[in-house]
Structure 1
């Protein structure tokens, strides 16, 4: 199933080194499910991988998604990368994976060397912000469609709930019966499946990295999660933004954002606590954004 990832048409390139491959990945130590991700880019070829910590996991089976991206992304990654400065960086910054804040790494490979730098998840590196932002944008594009590749699992319980997944062989959304606990549910509704997997999005070549074209609440990642997940959202214009967490009874759990924000690609982390800073119980939660007149709500699952 071919997907069209965002194309970022930026200007100019000069390759100072013969870089063969650029990679990035994430990991979450205290995590259940797809805790490991990796993205590798070679010219116009991009490969995205998802794995759990459990070897031969029967529920969260390894996932590989391959696609073709615009050559301008490769050009600009090389342009944004200060090769000499990168090679002189330490291998670890901060405390990646401490208190399960997650880790994020970036790697470049030439014909004779490989250098990887690991930072705390979502952090920055002085002098590499454009390079990191562009890599993250490509990774986010794959995260948007990764649920389309999930293999559904009924779980250990004996109930019968109708849930949905994307059938890669038939190229269509299909139903399956979920047992009511555990397992793997790619989509709660047919609408969610169709909107994620059947609506291929082609983005104008005039789009820039800084400003999206439309309001959008993206799928949180990881999901399911424990204890952190990142909520990402797109703002095409400056506006008042409110992001709120609710339980399944509609009770407000926590306000994550309530302020005017500039246009751009945004994110906020929820640490599974309420407005009083106390941990919340495991279960299904709703996260809702209101940005101007745009309102959207999605589900996420907290594991304990």
Structure 2
């Protein structure tokens, strides 16, 4: 068995009687009598006649080029030298070609038993025992050949256009195939940038760069960006790489941004709260949305009944979302499932969920009665940066919740509108009407509904 150790001390290439070349990962070794200080980890092997590989029959010698980019193997019974490209990052090999005695004017490889590479990487020398000769080969530098495809198999030429067609506004992820299969050298993707962005923003590269693609191989490049509004969008994408003929590789990306056609949720959940089961949901967009209803059942696939008396009004629009919450107070302990119904302006509906929450007998004992007006202490308190305020009203009515500083100055109005009977939640992020963050101190929150008025104290601590 012949072996060759690379100067990098990271891979160990072996030849076997299976007419194959295998390599293993080598962490570190001490070349003393020769003993390795750590075990080897098998990675892969290439066998004569498998996957198009040729020239390895009775493989006798293997060597790695000084630059680490190629591996050469002498195949005695094939009278040949097999050539592999090498991934300098992983050590993995890709078969490139084989040079055989008597083919294409090649001579001197009869019974090839050894192979080596000159220190300057310009020549390969192979000993042919049957020819009593040394065959000399010149090494062509080779070059990478980039080809960008989307979808895979459909090329986008350098300077070409990628028409994405209609896309819903918001975040977009795009996957390109980077093809280096026509090359005998490694392709390096160094950077990807976007210029001249129109009606779009936030371009970023999801894939890890630099990306090293071995010769005769492909890889995936994923990028993302945001479509900012309805209408045409475009940008120029430049892919910097080591293919000197096509760097940067320029692609003009374009398409049409469309408004979402339905409510899109980013979250929807249910949990046991201080005054009942709290359902929370946050929307990404709310095109043509009138509002929401909450439906409840005791079984996931059971009959659902609406629990809110009046429609919960929409706060978002076609390009932005909002956060909502609703407190339901079942009459007894048990398992409860909730669905969220969105109602469009034209009356059509769609459902989201279900989500689950379990209410125990202990929870029931803790729930405050809902036949009175209630204003709970905010939580957490003290707080930073956000706190939650829960309140309850026995009948539908106009509710106003306001925040005041210690001097009685109105800071912000959190709620001002009609609310259904039951328990509700509102959150405050310690900012005033203009969105300015407030300093630490004592603040007061007050709820008004008809003749009912209640004020509680809270502390903002940064």
TM-score by length of 2: 0.25
Higher relative contact order (CA 8 A, sep 6+): 1
- For the pair shown, the structure with the greater C-alpha radius of gyration is 2
Which has the larger helix fraction? Answer: 1
